């Protein structure tokens, strides 16, 4: 293990590479990364960081987002098949159909989407900034894709707008049912319940706080509560427990594991740096339009 880490560090220096890791990555991958955070933070890092190579320890749409924002850098996704099923629940053709059914209505796409879907949209968002961006858009109507749960959550916060939602969802977050929240609340009465907005709206309604992975971590850091029930992927517990050993953290559901996020191991990171695996490319025909939606997000967030 120590040897792999030393070799990764050497290769990083040699290739002028930085390692970006999402909060859901395995503990040892997070530990070796230069930047760890939620999708929004990592997008900003990708856009600004000075390096030749970005190794993105996450899932494909995150690496593609980094490539769109940093087209001159080599962006590597260590595990080729690390995808996001939610991002695959809508196609560009679906978005074109929605636009023709609701002419003139802007389309806001969750960053968990393909480059082609981004290119058909007017603005992108992450869970950290979706409410702010939706509220800042002109008009009374908004098409939101592909996550119906996040869309419901945003609609509950931006009441002045009518939302047209797409029925996409994350299998991992959808495992949590309202009864699970009631049961853990009963068991750990002193604990605050922190929920990711990809959860069912009925689950989010029962939360003390709803936010992105980093916002959940920030809330737990600032709060004086002694315990927290975490309603998002297990990866966030690594930093939470490491930084706050005096507080207790409980996972809301034992199935909160994203199989795609867990594909990346230290061995994958090493192979990525050594053999340039797997270089991300984006279709030139859609890159400029998709980039526009991300730039707009960065402006409005």
Options 9-17, 120-128, 186-194, 200-208: segment touching ligand 13P (CB under 6 A): 120-128
Cα 168 from Cα 289, distance rounded (Å): 23
Which stretch in 3-11, 33-41, 92-100, 185-193 sits in contact with ligand 13P by CB under 6 A? 33-41
46 close to 9: Cβ distance less than 8 angstroms: no
CA distance 57 to 18: 11
Nearer Cβ to ligand SF4 (170/229): 170
**Residue 84, interface with ligand SF4 (CB under 6 A)?**
yes
* Per-residue binder mask for ligand SF4 (CB under 6 A), 24-53, x = binder: ------------------------------
Asked if 213 interacts with ligand 13P (CB under 6 A), we say yes
Q: Is the CB of 112 or the CB of 121 nearer to ligand 13P?
A: 112
Instruction: Let me know if 135 is exposed, middle or buried by CB neighbors in 10 A (0-12, 13-18, 19+).
Output: middle
Integer Cα distance of 153 and 199 in angstroms: 9
What is each CA distance from 70 to 4, 60, 149, in whole angstroms?
28, 15, 30
Distance CA(220)–CA(272), nearest Å, equals: 34
Name the minimum Å distance from CB 127 to ligand 13P. 4
> Which partner in ligand SF4, ligand 13P, none is near 260 (CB below 5 to 8 A by kind)?
ligand SF4
Total of chain residues touching ligand SF4, rule CB under 6 A: 12
Q: Could you tell me the strand order of the sheet in which 74-76 lies?
A: 35-37, 17-22, 53-57, 74-76
Please list, residue by residue across 279-299, b when 16 or more beta carbons sit within 10 angstroms of its beta carbon and e when fewer do: ebebeeebbeebbbbbebbee
Residues 231-290 touching ligand 13P, rule: CB under 6 A, are none
Asked if 69 contacts 47 with a C-beta cutoff of 8 angstroms, the reply is yes
DSSP class of residue 147 equals B
Piece of 83-91, 93-101, 154-162, 277-285 that binds ligand SF4 (CB under 6 A)? 83-91
Residues 196-215 that bind ligand SF4 (CB under 6 A): 198
Cα four-point dihedral sign 225, 226, 231, 234? positive
For ligand 13P, which residue of 39, 43, 149, 239 counts as binding (CB under 6 A)?
A: 39
Find the part of the chain contacting ligand SF4 (CB under 6 A) among 82-90, 119-127, 199-207, 217-225: 82-90
Stretch that binds ligand 13P, among 35-43, 64-72, 93-101, 240-248 (CB under 6 A): 35-43
Site of tokens 């900034």? 129
| C-beta closer to ligand SF4: residue 79 or 233 | 233
Inter-residue contact 22 to 58 (CB < 8 Å) = yes
The reply on whether position 233 binds ligand SF4 by CB under 6 A is yes
Identify the H or E element spanning 20: strand 17-22
**Rule CB under 6 A: is residue 112 a binding residue for ligand SF4?**
yes
- Least distance between ligand 13P and beta carbon 227 (Å): 22
Examine residue 172 and tell whether it contacts ligand SF4 (CB under 6 A): yes
| Contact residues for ligand SF4, defined by CB under 6 A | 59, 84-86, 112, 170, 172, 198, 233, 258, 260-261
């Amino acid at each position: 293990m120590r040897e792999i880490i030393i070799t990764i560090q050497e290769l990083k220096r040699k290739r002028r590479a930085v390692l970006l890791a999402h909060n859901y990555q395995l503990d040892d991958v997070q530990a070796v990364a230069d930047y760890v955070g939620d999708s929004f933070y990592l997008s900003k890092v990708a856009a600004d960081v000075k390096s030749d190579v970005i190794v993105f320890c996450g899932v494909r749409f995150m690496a593609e987002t980094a490539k769109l924002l940093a087209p001159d850098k080599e962006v590597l996704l260590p595990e080729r098949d690390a995808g996001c099923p939610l991002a695959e629940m809508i196609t560009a053709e679906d978005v074109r159909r929605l636009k023709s059914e609701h002419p003139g209505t802007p389309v806001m796409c969750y960053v968990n989407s393909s480059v082609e879907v981004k290119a058909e949209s007017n603005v992108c968002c992450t869970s950290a900034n979706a409410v702010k961006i939706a509220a800042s858009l002109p008009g009374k109507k908004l098409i939101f894709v592909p996550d119906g749960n996040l869309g419901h959550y945003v609609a509950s916060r931006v009441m002045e707008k009518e939302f047209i939602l797409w029925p996409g969802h994350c299998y991992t977050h959808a495992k949590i049912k309202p009864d699970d929240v009631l049961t853990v609340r009963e068991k750990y009465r002193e604990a605050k319940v922190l929920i990711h907005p990809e959860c069912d709206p009925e689950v989010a309604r029962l939360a003390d706080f709803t936010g992105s992975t980093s916002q959940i971590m920030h809330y737990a850091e600032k709060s004086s509560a002694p315990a927290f029930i975490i309603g998002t992927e297990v990866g966030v517990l690594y930093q939470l427990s490491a930084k706050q050993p005096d507080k207790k953290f409980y996972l809301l559901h034992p199935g909160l594991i994203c199989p795609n996020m867990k594909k990346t191991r230290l061995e994958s990171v090493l192979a990525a740096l050594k053999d340039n695996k797997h270089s991300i490319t984006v279709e030139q025909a859609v890159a400029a339009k998709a980039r526009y939606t991300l730039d707009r997000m960065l402006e409005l967030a």
